[in-house]
Amino acid sequence: DQTKRAIFSLAKRKGYFDGRFVESKIEVIPSENIANIHLHFSSGPRYKFGAISIPDDGVEPARIEKIPTFKQGDDFDTIKLGELQSDL
Protein backbone atom coordinates (compact mmCIF):
# COMPACT_ATOMS: atom_id res chain seq x y z
CA ASP A 1 0.00 0.00 0.00
CA GLN A 2 2.87 2.39 0.74
CA THR A 3 4.32 1.87 -2.74
CA LYS A 4 0.94 2.42 -4.35
CA ARG A 5 0.43 5.64 -2.37
CA ALA A 6 3.88 6.84 -3.47
CA ILE A 7 3.04 6.15 -7.12
CA PHE A 8 -0.30 7.98 -6.80
CA SER A 9 1.41 10.92 -5.11
CA LEU A 10 4.09 11.21 -7.80
CA ALA A 11 1.49 10.96 -10.56
CA LYS A 12 -0.58 13.77 -9.03
CA ARG A 13 2.49 15.99 -8.54
CA LYS A 14 3.27 15.57 -12.23
CA GLY A 15 -0.28 16.30 -13.41
CA TYR A 16 -1.67 12.79 -13.93
CA PHE A 17 -4.88 13.29 -11.95
CA ASP A 18 -6.81 10.49 -13.65
CA GLY A 19 -4.22 7.79 -12.95
CA ARG A 20 -5.33 4.46 -11.52
CA PHE A 21 -4.07 0.95 -10.97
CA VAL A 22 -5.53 -1.45 -13.52
CA GLU A 23 -3.74 -4.43 -12.00
CA SER A 24 -2.59 -5.03 -8.45
CA LYS A 25 -1.70 -8.63 -7.74
CA ILE A 26 0.58 -10.51 -5.34
CA GLU A 27 1.66 -14.05 -6.11
CA VAL A 28 3.28 -15.88 -3.17
CA ILE A 29 5.37 -19.03 -3.66
CA PRO A 30 6.03 -20.26 -0.10
CA SER A 31 8.16 -23.22 -1.14
CA GLU A 32 10.68 -20.84 -2.73
CA ASN A 33 10.25 -17.94 -0.28
CA ILE A 34 9.29 -15.72 -3.19
CA ALA A 35 6.57 -13.15 -3.70
CA ASN A 36 5.89 -11.61 -7.09
CA ILE A 37 4.14 -8.27 -7.09
CA HIS A 38 2.42 -7.07 -10.25
CA LEU A 39 1.36 -3.43 -10.41
CA HIS A 40 0.08 -1.86 -13.61
CA PHE A 41 -0.59 1.86 -13.34
CA SER A 42 -2.47 3.62 -16.12
CA SER A 43 -1.58 7.31 -15.89
CA GLY A 44 -4.22 8.71 -18.21
CA PRO A 45 -3.55 12.07 -19.89
CA ARG A 46 -1.19 14.60 -18.37
CA TYR A 47 -2.89 17.85 -17.44
CA LYS A 48 -1.50 21.16 -18.72
CA PHE A 49 -1.31 24.60 -17.19
CA GLY A 50 -4.04 26.94 -18.37
CA ALA A 51 -4.00 30.69 -18.61
CA ILE A 52 -2.76 32.55 -15.56
CA SER A 53 -4.87 35.39 -14.26
CA ILE A 54 -3.79 37.54 -11.35
CA PRO A 55 -6.19 40.12 -9.89
CA ASP A 56 -5.20 43.74 -10.35
CA ASP A 57 -4.05 44.64 -6.86
CA GLY A 58 -1.44 47.24 -7.62
CA VAL A 59 1.30 44.90 -8.83
CA GLU A 60 2.83 45.96 -12.11
CA PRO A 61 2.02 43.42 -14.86
CA ALA A 62 5.61 43.68 -16.13
CA ARG A 63 6.90 42.31 -12.81
CA ILE A 64 4.57 39.32 -13.00
CA GLU A 65 5.45 38.61 -16.63
CA LYS A 66 9.14 38.32 -15.67
CA ILE A 67 8.45 35.31 -13.45
CA PRO A 68 9.33 32.47 -15.87
CA THR A 69 8.04 29.52 -13.86
CA PHE A 70 5.72 28.14 -16.56
CA LYS A 71 3.42 29.22 -19.35
CA GLN A 72 0.04 28.19 -20.66
CA GLY A 73 0.23 24.74 -22.27
CA ASP A 74 3.21 23.50 -20.22
CA ASP A 75 2.83 20.17 -18.44
CA PHE A 76 1.38 20.56 -14.94
CA ASP A 77 3.89 20.19 -12.13
CA THR A 78 3.25 21.05 -8.47
CA ILE A 79 6.87 22.15 -8.01
CA LYS A 80 6.49 24.77 -10.75
CA LEU A 81 3.20 25.90 -9.24
CA GLY A 82 4.83 26.21 -5.81
CA GLU A 83 7.69 28.25 -7.28
CA LEU A 84 5.20 30.66 -8.84
CA GLN A 85 3.36 31.02 -5.53
CA SER A 86 6.65 31.73 -3.73
CA ASP A 87 7.75 34.25 -6.34
CA LEU A 88 4.48 36.14 -6.06
pLDDT tens per residue across span 3-48: 999 999 999 999 999 999 999 999 999 999 999 999 999 999 999 9
pLDDT of 51 higher than 70 = yes
Beta strands at 20-29 and 34-42: parallel, antiparallel or unpaired: antiparallel
What is the CATH architecture of 1-46? Roll (3.10)
pLDDT of 57 higher than 90 = no
Residues of each domain in the chain carrying CATH 3.10.20.310: 1-46
DSSP state of 15: T
Q: Which residue, among 27, 33, 37, has the nearest Cα to 7 in the 3D structure?
A: 37
Can you name the residues that pair with 26 across neighbouring β-strands? 37
> Please, what is the Cα angle at 39 between 38 and 44, to 5 degrees?
150
The reported pLDDT for the residue numbered 68 is 66
Higher pLDDT, 86 or 73: 73
